[in-house]
Amino acid sequence: MDVYTTSFTYPRRSRPLHSPHSSLEFPQQQSADGVGLKTLSLIDPYSQQLQLQPNVVDVSAAADAEAIQKLAMMAMTLHGCHVSFYLVDQGRGWNFHITGAYQQVMITRGLILKECPIQHRSAIKVTRSEILDSPFSKPTLKTEVRRKLDEIASQTVAHIAVVNSPQSLSNRTPPDGISSSAGWSGLETERVCELVITGTEDAVELARVRLLVMLDEQSGLHSETCEIDHKLHAIIAGRKRTVLQSIQEETATNIYYPSPLQDLVGPDQGLTPSGIRNSNIVWITGEFFGVQRARDMLYQVSVNKSKSILSRDTAILPRKLDWMVTERAEDLKTIMSDNATFIQLPPLGSSTSLITVYGDHRVNIQRTIRSIMQLACQFYVGSFWLLPVQYNALIPPALNTAAINALLKQISVASGAEIVFKSMCFEMHGLEHEVRNAVNMIMELDIIKAFHHEIRFQIELSNEHRDFISGKKNGKINKIMQTTNVKIKFETFNDHNFLIDIAGPDGSVLQGLALLQEELPAEISFHVPEGYHKRIIGVGGRSIQRIMKKYGVYVKFSNAEEFAALGGYNDNDDNVVARTPAKNAANLENLKQSVMELVAPKDKDFVIETVSIPRRYHRTLLGEKSIFIRDIETKTNSRVRFPDKESASDVVAVYGPESQVQIAATMLLDHVPFEADMAVPPNSDLPRVASSAEFNTLVEHVKRELQVSVSPNFKRPGLTNGSAVPEVTPSEYSFKFRCQRSNTDFLLTAREMLEQFLQNHNIHVYPSPTTHTHKRNDSFAEAFPHFESKILSTARARGHESMDMGRSDFMAERRLRMANSSPDVKALFNSPAYIYNLEAQGDGSIDSTFNMVTPVQQDMDYWTPLAPIGSGVPPRSRHAQDAIKRGSDSLLEAKIKEQINKPRSLNNRAQSLDLTNSLSRITEGSSYLPPDSPTTSTGEGGTSSPSSVTAPSFPSVYGPPLSARSSGVFSASAAAQAQARASQNYDDDDDIVDEVSRRISNLGM
């Protein structure tokens, strides 16, 4: 009997070093009654994990080694073969060595692959307030949450831990879509933690769905289950789950599917307590009537689809199937989701090569099989045959069995491939680089140098590439065989793929393999709207032929009929494929760019933009906000794809043209709520102040004017150990701000209004770390510091300061230093003139078209408040030309600047900034001045242009109508006289009143 020996490492993939791979990594807590809570723990990922890291491998290895030892003993007892194992890959995998008869070895291998206690890990991000009693200090799990976690852990045989999220240690980092300077400084986003699930793959999948349902129930949603045959799940959902998303959109529900690969890996979970297969259960959460509608719609669709189910069988090498299930599970799930099909795979390690694909459309089934075959082509098979120097039938060649076993383990661990030895032949199974490395290692062994040897590689490829590889009259293949002295032959394998066998002695076969791989097809597919196809192809194909010849790439455009029959290339929407030999793969992207140059920007370069939106908002966006999403999709020619509910992902994908997806993502974020907390020091007066009518007035004012909702969030003192005496420790006090993400600019203003209110009531607040360094981005709200507007988010300083909060103190000091500088210093450093001419040239101008003020992009991004009339500050000059206002034409701007009045002297500029004397005297005569300007004003003649470059930027709302003022034009001499008068010192109040009257009359008001 021939002895069959195999050595392989499982799991093959490398896991992250800091990823918990054993349930023992999470320390167990003891409850008050001494019962161990194996499902619950709270750890800091940065402090405690570092303490666990040195010995975690040893502890987990000891625990897993015991389970694997039992598995190995059971396999040897049942199947009569020898099994040995040891820890590899820094404790993240095991190498198994099995020896015996072929059939028994393959059964044992399948048993180990399926039952091996490999720990998988998944994490769900949740806000602390959802599951913890005290989210900020002394965090403890809510009683109901603790009970549910225990129940889920016992039913799914998974380990669940509550872990601090790394984000909780950097709460002041703004989330996606919120810029760091958008005005939320001093606030912190809601703190999050993670529910970490570890266990077998099936257990993790089941527990994650149950936890998501539990979180929905915690937020007040109703939940129900329905049983549908698992073969129909993907078919009901439609391609890329479009049908399922439409059901969720119409009913405002969350629908959680089980994993389509359930029961393939890990011990059988069997039936639920109610006798239903776990893989058939679909969970639905939402409002009660929405859940009923969603369940009825799912049943109705399943009944209709079950009448038109088609199936097709195809063959794949068993080891490739095992590799797909254990290493490419996500790819298999994606294939099923993209094509609305179900792939029925044989049990892991069963040596069965037949798979069955179910679907409701022939195109979908064909595309699924094509995708699986393309995935199988990544897996190589190599063989290394040992041939005796002189063959003698009476004395067969022999090798030291112990030495061979040791070599198999070493080569398997070093290369990552599965190594088999049988009948004087080494077999290698794995990815291309793994098989190649294993062959190189075997060639260097001393024990094989006494033998002749032959090396063979087996490559699987799609039938459509057969002619591409061969070349005209097999020219490519013949050239490789003549160059390297190897043999290459093609063998038919199934209806979709064929096999390429390449054989030769020594290292020549490796050279032949390298040359053959250079001829293997490399391809790229993309989407081009069909309306552009004829234009790109050109008359008689001349245009595309020129491009293909330039880059040496073959291009195929599929029209609507071909696209419908094909179902798309790599992506469902791809209707153009470009293919070239692998050695020329660099030109694929160049060809794509050349083709896309002929496509309008709004239709080209379809890409996927991802947006992070908290999971709890997805149901609302799909339900209540679906009309806005449809509008966004129509306007930007894009599609919004929400993640699968059971994945617990926050990432929403926007698919569309590269020039539009960013706009679509921004528009989508405008409908996403944003919440932030402002913590305040504990104060016994806070509850009284927060319940006062004055506070309610402030809240209504902020909500009406800034569209920001402010609500107190006070944590009341709890009871200690069940006693009736409240705790003496201070409670937690904070205020919650809620707004849309498009209104985050107003958060700073709302926070400062609340801080001012609290300070007026003698309640202290924490100082904001960014108060003095905050600088808002360019916003037209900065252009209105002249009005005390309730609508615009111009943050006013507290107390006696009148400086705009949008400008930093450092910038203000810089302006004063520049104003007091001498011309000699300017000439010495050769500074640009615009630094000194900010005031003279003006900081902004009135946009006559939109009747709003837009800031001019100068060296510094801020505005200077306009002083009251009569304060001695000359009128601000402004530009009448749009070219300067927008800075669109530098040459035109330079010519117009030459015609503008010369700037004031530095002495006058410095004096104009020092308004202490003038303002104090004007205050004394303030009874003669008009009342404060109203918060809003409607300008007449919104489309008229300014009458003079020296007229005030903002005409008074108390003057005569615009038509009466429009004739008043100042000459340069009049402006110079006004400037000279501005520098005079007034001695009595009558002079001040006269000067104010004279200035108003000169202004034509």
Domains of the chain: 221-376 (3.30.1370.10), 379-519 (3.30.310.210), 523-599 (3.30.1370.10), 606-669 (3.30.1370.10), 673-720+730-774 (3.30.1370), 809-1002 (no CATH)
Helix (H) or strand (E) holding 428: strand 425-431
Span of 438-442, 544-548, 803-807 with lowest mean pLDDT: 803-807
| Ramachandran quadrant class, 433 (left: phi over 0; alpha: psi -120 to 50; beta: rest) | alpha
129: pLDDT confidence band, cut at 50, 70 and 90?
confident
Q: Find where tokens 């003079």 sit.
A: 948
Which comes out higher in pLDDT, residue 977 or 689? Answer: 689
Helix (H) or strand (E) holding 367: helix 362-376
Q: What is the dihedral angle through the alpha carbons of 937, 942, 944, 946, rounded to the nearest 10 degrees?
A: 40
DSSP-based three-state secondary structure for 418: strand
Span of 63-72, 378-387, 436-445 with lowest mean pLDDT: 63-72
- Average of pLDDT values for 126-146? 80
pLDDT at site 1: 53
Span of 327-336, 350-359, 653-662, 825-834 with lowest mean pLDDT: 825-834
DSSP E strand stretches across 169-221: 188-189, 192-199
Which comes out higher in pLDDT, residue 692 or 889? Answer: 692
pLDDT at site 670: 87
Which comes out higher in pLDDT, residue 396 or 552? Answer: 552
308: pLDDT confidence band, cut at 50, 70 and 90?
very high
pLDDT at site 699: 93
**Alpha helix ranges (H) inside 520-657:** 533-537, 542-551, 560-566, 587-596, 618-622, 626-636
- Give me the phi and psi of 683, to 5 degrees please: -150, 130
pLDDT at site 151: 93
Tell which residue, 69, 65, 75, 73, has the closest CA to residue 108. 75
Q: Give the pLDDT confidence of 839-866 residue by residue, as tens digits.
A: 333 443 333 333 333 333 434 333 334 4
Which comes out higher in pLDDT, residue 511 or 895? Answer: 511
Q: Give the pLDDT confidence of 772-792 residue by residue, as tens digits.
A: 434 444 444 445 544 544 454
Tell which residue, 452, 440, 320, 309, has the closest CA to residue 375. 320
Q: Tell me how far apart the alpha carbons of residues 566 and 570 are, in angstroms, rounded to a whole number.
A: 11
Sequence-separated (6 or more) residues with CB below 8 Å from residue 817: none
Check whether 301 has a pLDDT greater than 90. Answer: yes
Q: Which CA distances in Å does 454 have to 159, 384, 426, 435?
A: 50, 6, 11, 15
Tell which residue, 804, 813, 817, 870, has the closest CA to residue 843. 804
Check whether 880 has a pLDDT greater than 60. Answer: no
pLDDT at site 99: 94
Tell which residue, 648, 616, 646, 651, has the closest CA to residue 283. 646
Q: Is the dihedral of CA 39, 42, 45, 50 positive or negative?
A: negative
The letter for the amino acid at 829 is F
Q: Is 139 exposed, middle or buried (0-12, 13-18, 19+ CB in 10 A)?
A: middle
Tell which residue, 925, 729, 936, 876, has the closest CA to residue 136. 729
At CA 632, angle to CA 631 and CA 635, rounded to 5?
85
Q: Tell me how far apart the alpha carbons of residues 797 and 76 are, in angstroms, rounded to a whole number.
A: 80
Tell which residue, 78, 111, 109, has the closest CA to residue 96. 109
Q: Is the dihedral of CA 589, 591, 595, 597 positive or negative?
A: positive
- Average of pLDDT values for 133-148? 80
Tell which residue, 85, 185, 167, has the closest CA to residue 128. 167
Answer whether 224's CB lies under 8 Å from 293's CB: no
Which comes out higher in pLDDT, residue 998 or 928? Answer: 998
Percent of the chain with pLDDT over 70: 65
Check whether 950 has a pLDDT greater than 50. Answer: no
Any idea what DSSP says for residue 888?
A: -
How does the average pLDDT of the chain come out, rounded?
A: 74
pLDDT at site 62: 59
Tell which residue, 224, 231, 225, has the closest CA to residue 302. 231
Answer whether 279's CB lies under 8 Å from 230's CB: yes
44: pLDDT confidence band, cut at 50, 70 and 90?
very low
Check whether 455 has a pLDDT greater than 60. Answer: yes
Check whether 218 has a pLDDT greater than 60. Answer: yes
Sequence-separated (6 or more) residues with CB below 8 Å from residue 783: 844, 852, 853, 854, 855, 863
Which comes out higher in pLDDT, residue 474 or 969? Answer: 474
Q: Tell me how far apart the alpha carbons of residues 212 and 199 are, in angstroms, rounded to a whole number.
A: 17
Q: Find where tokens 């104060």 sit.
A: 683
pLDDT at site 273: 61
Q: Is the dihedral of CA 524, 526, 530, 535 positive or negative?
A: negative
Span of 289-298, 427-436, 439-448, 722-731 with lowest mean pLDDT: 722-731
793: pLDDT confidence band, cut at 50, 70 and 90?
very low
Q: Tell me how far apart the alpha carbons of residues 970 and 902 are, in angstroms, rounded to a whole number.
A: 15
Rg (CA), the chain: 38
pLDDT at site 389: 66
Span of 225-229, 567-571, 701-705 with lowest mean pLDDT: 567-571
The first and second tokens of residue 995, run together, are: 């000067």
Span of 19-28, 343-352, 565-574, 729-738 with lowest mean pLDDT: 19-28
Check whether 124 has a pLDDT greater than 90. Answer: yes
The letter for the amino acid at 581 is P
**Alpha helix ranges (H) inside 377-507:** 401-415, 432-443, 466-470, 475-484
Check whether 759 has a pLDDT greater than 70. Answer: yes
The letter for the amino acid at 288 is F
Which comes out higher in pLDDT, residue 523 or 933? Answer: 523
pLDDT at site 55: 33
DSSP E strand stretches across 204-323: 222-227, 253-256, 281-286, 310-315
Check whether 816 has a pLDDT greater than 60. Answer: no
Q: Tell me how far apart the alpha carbons of residues 894 and 96 are, in angstroms, rounded to a whole number.
A: 78
Assessment of whether the complete model's pTM goes beyond 0.85: no
Percent of the chain with pLDDT over 90: 41
pLDDT at site 677: 83
